[in-house]
A and B are shown apart, each in its own frame.
Chain A
Amino acid sequence: MAAYLLRRLMVSALILLGVSFITFFLLYVLPADPVRQIAGRSATAETVENIRRELGLDRPFIVQYGHYLAGLVQGDLGRSYLQKTQVAELIASRLPATLLLMLGAISAELLIGLTFGIVAALKRGTILDQTLMMTSFVTVSAPQFVVSLLLLYVFAVKLGWFPIGGYGTPAHLVLPALTLGILGSGWYSRMMRSSMIDVLRADFIRTARAKGLTRARVVLGHALPNAILPVIAMIGIDIGIFMGGIVVVESVFGWPGIGQLAWQAIQRVDIPIIMGVTLVSAVAIVLGNLLADLVAPFIDPRIKLK
């Protein structure tokens, strides 16, 4: 176990190194000049050159990357070109909001997805089952911005139950978390349904029924704890999907997390921030996948970590 974990962490470090190299390289070769953004339109050629030298952007690619990497291993993500603050500080100040949103989103996903999945499995083959599964298809086919705007229109503009955007109170969290929760619930409900159907066929369920236990006890006490395991492994993978998607939801709802930070940085070609957010997201994805793999042997004892 310890050896496995050590090896996986080393592989993860290599993957992150690769992500940093590719992102740095793409931002280097692409036709966007951060110096022009900083200097402004009216700057003279001389000013532009001075800024370029100051930021070290006149040096060859490999030197720039080496410099970045040297900082990275010491936890230094560089300074924002435009805000002049440490990128690590900027990300640290935005991360709590994103983590809060993630927690809200995953809770909503599980609540909706598990309920739908369990009900569909118990009512297998009925109209209710088909409706719930059709709903799960619609949710995986909807783009985030459409669902965001729809919830905003209904619950904030028309009904006025929730604020239209911003951050601070629990009410602000509801709509963005619900958007992500609805969209992510489709996979969970499908998975929960098929897992539950498999478990309900098992002998120990028949035994439990034969003992005369109530239906509620059989489902919630015996079937659910077994059926839920594959779903738990999925949360790990879901973290990765979540990190990819926060840009849209955070900008629609004005949620001050790292997705919004990234979107602003992309528009201003603020390379150190883009690098930082990409790396933080990649760390989340890698850890999420590791979590999913670590949970796997508990779900299916035939799986051995190797």
Chain B
Amino acid sequence: MTDATGADPALRPRGALARLMRRKMALFGLALIVLVVAGALAAPLIAPFAPDEQMFDGLTLEGAPLPPDGRFLFGTDLLGRDLFSRILYGAQTSLIIGVVANGLALLIGTLVGITAGYFRGWIGAALMRFTDLMMAFPALLLAICLAAIFQPSLWIVAMVIALVNWVQTARVIYTETTSLATRDFIAACRTLGAGTGRILFRHILPHLVPTIIVWGTLGISTTVLLEATLSFLGVGVQPPTPSWGNIIFENQTYFQSAPWLVFIPGAAIILLALAFNLVGDALRDVLDPTQRGRD
């Protein structure tokens, strides 16, 4: 890859990683991500209770949820289930959707962007006009509408999010590809008889990797927020599968007397989205030389 890109050594992952590590904010974000991933993976081992276990002693005698204490770290929910265990399993949902939906959006966006940017003619024009069209859609409204009409499952939610979220990536990749396509080294490849596929995937794509990494990281944050919003409206991941959004959806009527049921999962959503934003922003500074030194 290094030969094909001919990239500045500073752009190689090792150098970038080292510079990333020097940023306190990025480290904080990275630590949060590691924490959530570890919590999600180890959920079956560290969760004190099963996420859907309704406990007799999980409610007060009047049937109200219990506030956080030693036994129930984050308290219990309306059905007497342990909130801490549900948050741990909910992390799995958020991360699966974050990775799957965002991966899919990134794939669509990159393919559309690279194709439109390299083939200028009618294919490129048609793809970019379609992208413009998608930009004019009220994305959240479209996502809510699609999710509400399909009986949503985890995978449907991921697909809906991918369908509304690829547009930004496509535009960024398109702009970069158009400028790369006119560069001398690409003309040289063509003169040497390289085929279109080879030029696109061996010579242009490697140059787009930093951009894809940056947008991929920032995109996870958007995806996590979108999933939480859909689940909060009741059209996302369906109970009993716990997701941070649907925990709030299930318990919001009680939020005046049991605020922890809303604000603990709420804080989890904010922290995870913040973590990916911090790391993505730092990656942009580190990987994109034109952005360097701007702050």
Q: Give me the interface of A with B, judged by CB distance under 8 Å.
A: 15-16, 18-19, 22-23, 26-27, 30-32, 133-134, 137-138, 140-146, 149-150, 153, 157, 193-194, 197, 240, 243-245, 247-248, 251, 262-263, 266-267, 269, 274, 277-278, 281-282, 285-286, 289
Contact flags B138-171 to A (C-beta < 8 A → 1, else 0): 1111101110111000000000000000000000
- The answer to whether A137 and B136 touch (CB under 8 A), given A153-B259, A194-B295, A278-B142, is no
The residues of A that contact B270 with a CB separation of less than 8 Å are 138, 141-143, 146
Whether B274 and A138, one on each chain, are in contact in the complex, defined by CB atoms closer than 8 angstroms, is yes
Whether B248 and A19, one on each chain, are in contact in the complex, defined by CB atoms closer than 8 angstroms, is no
Distance between B118 CB and nearest chain A CB, rounded to angstroms: 24
Alpha-carbon distance between A27 and B256 when the two chains are bound, in angstroms: 38
Top 3 nearest A-B pairs (CB, nearest first) are A146-B266, A141-B273, A281-B138
Alpha-carbon distance between A141 and B224 when the two chains are bound, in angstroms: 9
Whether B138 and A267, one on each chain, are in contact in the complex, defined by CB atoms closer than 8 angstroms, is no
Distance between B236 CB and nearest chain A CB, rounded to angstroms: 12
- Cross-chain pairs A/B with CB under 8 angstroms, 11 sampled: A18-B136, A32-B149, A141-B221, A141-B274, A142-B273, A149-B266, A240-B136, A244-B140, A247-B144, A282-B138, A289-B135
The residues of A that contact B228 with a CB separation of less than 8 Å are 143, 145-146
Distance between B75 CB and nearest chain A CB, rounded to angstroms: 16
With an 8 A cutoff between CB atoms, is B269 at the interface?
Answer: yes
Alpha-carbon distance between A194 and B281 when the two chains are bound, in angstroms: 15
With an 8 A cutoff between CB atoms, is B263 at the interface?
Answer: yes
Whether A286 and B136, one on each chain, are in contact in the complex, defined by CB atoms closer than 8 angstroms, is yes
Please classify how large the interface on chain B is, using the bins under 10, 10 to 19, 20 to 34, 35 or more: 35 or more
Whether B148 and A266, one on each chain, are in contact in the complex, defined by CB atoms closer than 8 angstroms, is yes
Interface residue from B136, B142, B145 paired with A16 (Cβ < 8 Å):
B136
Whether B274 and A145, one on each chain, are in contact in the complex, defined by CB atoms closer than 8 angstroms, is no
Whether B25 and A134, one on each chain, are in contact in the complex, defined by CB atoms closer than 8 angstroms, is yes
Whether A30 and B146, one on each chain, are in contact in the complex, defined by CB atoms closer than 8 angstroms, is yes
18 additional A-B residue pairs with CB within 8 Å, beyond A137-B274, A140-B277, A289-B136? A27-B145, A137-B277, A137-B278, A137-B281, A138-B270, A143-B273, A145-B248, A146-B228, A146-B270, A150-B263, A240-B136, A248-B140, A248-B229, A266-B144, A266-B145, A278-B145, A282-B137, A289-B135
Alpha-carbon distance between A41 and B221 when the two chains are bound, in angstroms: 41
Distance between B186 CB and nearest chain A CB, rounded to angstroms: 26
Give the residue name and chain of the A residue nearest to B268 (CB): A146
Alpha-carbon distance between A81 and B245 when the two chains are bound, in angstroms: 31
Whether A22 and B269, one on each chain, are in contact in the complex, defined by CB atoms closer than 8 angstroms, is no
With an 8 A cutoff between CB atoms, is B133 at the interface?
Answer: yes
The residues of A that contact B221 with a CB separation of less than 8 Å are 141
Alpha-carbon distance between A263 and B145 when the two chains are bound, in angstroms: 8
- The answer to whether A248 and B233 touch (CB under 8 A), given A137-B274, A141-B221, A142-B273, is yes
- The answer to whether A145 and B149 touch (CB under 8 A), given A16-B136, A137-B277, A285-B136, is no
Alpha-carbon distance between A137 and B271 when the two chains are bound, in angstroms: 10
With an 8 A cutoff between CB atoms, is B201 at the interface?
Answer: no
Alpha-carbon distance between A144 and B270 when the two chains are bound, in angstroms: 10
Distance between B267 CB and nearest chain A CB, rounded to angstroms: 8
With an 8 A cutoff between CB atoms, is B132 at the interface?
Answer: yes
With an 8 A cutoff between CB atoms, is B255 at the interface?
Answer: yes
Whether A247 and B140, one on each chain, are in contact in the complex, defined by CB atoms closer than 8 angstroms, is yes
Whether A244 and B255, one on each chain, are in contact in the complex, defined by CB atoms closer than 8 angstroms, is no
Give the residue name and chain of the B residue nearest to A29 (CB): B149
Alpha-carbon distance between A141 and B222 when the two chains are bound, in angstroms: 8
The residues of B that contact A22 with a CB separation of less than 8 Å are 133, 137
Distance between A25 CB and nearest chain B CB, rounded to angstroms: 12
The residues of A that contact B274 with a CB separation of less than 8 Å are 137-138, 141
- The answer to whether A245 and B266 touch (CB under 8 A), given A141-B277, A145-B229, A266-B145, is no
Alpha-carbon distance between A251 and B252 when the two chains are bound, in angstroms: 13
The residues of A that contact B278 with a CB separation of less than 8 Å are 137
B3-50 interface (Cβ within 8 A of A): 25
Distance between B249 CB and nearest chain A CB, rounded to angstroms: 9
- The answer to whether A15 and B259 touch (CB under 8 A), given A26-B146, A137-B278, A141-B225, is no
